[in-house]
Amino acid sequence: MYLTDILKQGEHGNVEFKLSLSPKIHLSPGKRQKLASQMKYRIENGKGKAIYVIGVNDRGEAVGLSRFEFEKTLSVLKVLAAENLASIVSIERYGPEDKLIGKIVVEKTAKEKINLVVATAGHVDSGKSSLVGSLVSGIPDNGAGKTRLFLDTLPHEIERGLSAELSYAVYGFRQGETVKSNNPLNKQERARIVEHCEKIISFVDCVGHEPWLRTTIRGIVGQQIDYGLLTVDLDSGITNITKEHLGVLLAMNIPVIVAVTKIDRFPEERLNSVMEDVERILKYVGRIPIRIRSKEDIAVVIDKINNVTPIILASSVTLEGLDLLDELFKVLPPLKRDMGKPFLMYIDKVYNIKGVGTVVTGAVKQGVLKEGEELLIGPDKKGEFRSTKALSIETHHLKLHSVKAGFLVGVALRGIPSKDIERGMVLCSSSYGGKVRSVKKFLAEVLVLTHPTRIMTGYEPVLHIQTISEAVKIKCLDKPYLKAGDIGKVTMTFKYHPYFIEEGDKFVFREGKTKGIGKVLRILEP
């Protein structure tokens, strides 16, 4: 349908005329609700599709918008679309730059659940677990880690007040409303949220204590993360661990949200000082910091999230700022996943559950897994794969018949003892065929971030790629050695046994602290 045809029809059915929209005005509570309902009506009339013509008045007369006004109007429409579980599928511009007319097509998202996976990172005791605990429950923390106990469940974690393993939490949205849990530890409560919500926010709560850096890297690199939530508390401010975690998130091209925590405990002078440090480090790594003060500000960042970093001031004790985090997660889209490829998941944890048998957990990297599907698992230490079957599938304790890429799942397997499975193996569709192979050696391009001396042939760091954590031997190719700041090609050889990796996979390598990042260019020894 051409723009001239729409203008002749006038405003009816699934067509809506708008001159211009502004986040500050049209995303205020009263206006927002009205406009969201209006869009819902247009979508329903268009059987899942609405057409917005912008830059025209109510009579359908072309007026035109400046480029800036056009982009502001578009940002408001994106927020309204997200609230209706829809998205903008096409944008057409007509006319000169100072008098633009636009045709915007909005389509309802498929009725499948949307799952956003968010990794929390930051310095130890920066309030990560308490923030997530209060966010998923709506319950204020008592200042001593009351809501942290919703995530830290191991005895030594509770006793010491330190997270030592990845932990998980979930909440969601139904018909635009936030759905939280009175008891996030209750399995039935978590399953209820997943079952009834249209959009699910799955948190992977990483570890802030330096000795468990490898666990945090595993959470960021191996869990198919959509967004990173980096916490900076007013007590410690920016630390070396903060920088380390931020570096890993950016190395994996994960958009970052910063939550400045414990704002109820410190004066404004301390807040201003920490904010200056946060903005300085973000600008240093090429990100544009934007402080979110109201829901209207969120429209500015959602379509630029790969270049800008929202900063939200928060307190788990007073719950200040948590409504803004809710609003941000409600409208942020998940990363685009490849559903057309065969199912593939990297195994993170292995369990032997009484009455069920072997269960593996991880994040689905690509494709769709169906209950009863024939699968392959491996490679083992000899580089071999074995056949198995998905007996059942769960996500956050809810049983599913199928699950798509981006979901955190547990899969019960047939005929494979748990002792034969290790973290870093893959579970994949049997249709992978000859494409699934064990890899011992590969060509990579690396960037050395930090190193006190030089990296030369024979260097043996630990490589983190997907859920794999393994020592590799490095051979320098185009340079005799690499120092901090250098980019070069190297071959990497797994020291102990092979794994399944693919060209294009990104990785982190470290020796104590993170030393560098890289990408797999070519498989050399399958």
* Beta strand spans in 328-407 (E): 344-353, 357-366, 368-370, 374-378, 386-395, 398-400, 402-404
Answering whether pTM is above 0.75, one says: yes
Residue 16's contacts (CB-CB under 8 Å, 6 or more residues apart) are: 38, 39, 42, 50, 51, 52, 53
Predicted pLDDT of residue 11: 53
Which residue spans of the chain are classified as CATH 2.40.30.10?
344-435, 441-525
Nearest alpha carbon to residue 151 among 140, 172, 165, 171: 165
DSSP state for residue 148 in the 8-state scheme:
G
Nearest alpha carbon to residue 136 among 223, 201, 208, 188: 201
pLDDT single digits (tens) 61-73:
889 999 999 999 9
Length of the chain: 526
- Measured CA to CA, the distance from residue 481 to residue 494 in angstroms comes to 20
Considering the domain delimited by 441-525, tell me its CATH architecture. Beta Barrel (2.40)
The CATH number of 3-108, from 2.30.29, 1.10.3470, 3.30.110, 2.30.30, is 3.30.110
Which residue spans of the chain are classified as CATH 3.40.50.300?
114-331
Which residue spans of the chain are classified as CATH 3.30.110?
3-108
ω into residue 379 within 30 of 0, thus cis?
Answer: yes
- Measured CA to CA, the distance from residue 9 to residue 17 in angstroms comes to 11
Here the tokens at position 185 are 């530890």
C-alpha dist (Å) from residue 265 to 168, 318, 412: 27, 10, 46
Angle between helices 268-284 and 240-251 (to 10 degrees): 40
CATH number listed for the domain at residues 344-435: 2.40.30.10
- Measured CA to CA, the distance from residue 324 to residue 314 in angstroms comes to 9
Assigned CATH class of 114-331: alpha beta
- Measured CA to CA, the distance from residue 40 to residue 18 in angstroms comes to 15
pLDDT single digits (tens) 343-394:
999 999 999 988 889 999 999 999 999 999 999 999 999 999 999 999 999 9
Identity of residue 279: E
pLDDT single digits (tens) 321-344:
999 999 999 988 888 777 778 999
Q: Which single residue is written with the structure tokens 């130890």?
A: 124
- Measured CA to CA, the distance from residue 434 to residue 376 in angstroms comes to 12
Task: List, as one string, the DSSP characters of 41-88.
Answer: HHHHHTTSEEEEEESB-TT--B--B-HHHHHHHHHHHHHHHHHTTEEE
- Measured CA to CA, the distance from residue 227 to residue 233 in angstroms comes to 19
pLDDT single digits (tens) 141-182:
887 767 767 664 433 333 334 333 567 889 999 877 899 988
Confidence of residue 1 (pLDDT cuts 50, 70, 90): very low
- What percentage of residues in the chain have a pLDDT greater than 70? 91
